[in-house]
Amino acid sequence: MNNKIDLELLAVQNQESFGASSELESIFNKLTEDIESYRKDQTEILEYCRPHTDQMWAAKIVSIILGCDFRDATPAIAKYFVEIEK
């Protein structure tokens, strides 16, 4: 799933549904910036945890961010980085 494409599709759908309202466009742009900021923070945290997923603290953080069981943190984080490199 490519979140950037999803956001662009949502923008097109919003413009079709509500017209090119500058207020809605401003809100959408702010939300898009917030999401991008969150993704950068999330990736930074996961990069820090990546070499330590054999330890409980890192596995738990990874499991919270990625929504997986802490025992699956190592394969889940590997899959995450493969997907974002595409």
The tens digit of pLDDT for each residue in 44-83 reads: 999 999 999 999 999 999 999 999 999 999 999 999 999 9
Widest distance between CA atoms in the chain: 51
What length is written for the chain?
86
Kindly state the DSSP code that residue 2 receives in the 8-state scheme. -
How many whole angstroms separate alpha carbon 9 and alpha carbon 17?
Answer: 12
pLDDT at 18 over 80: no
Q: Show the DSSP H helices in 1-86 as ranges.
A: 3-18, 22-49, 56-66, 73-84
Calculate ∠ Cα 25-31-36, nearest 5°. Answer: 125
At 56, list the tokens.
């409980």
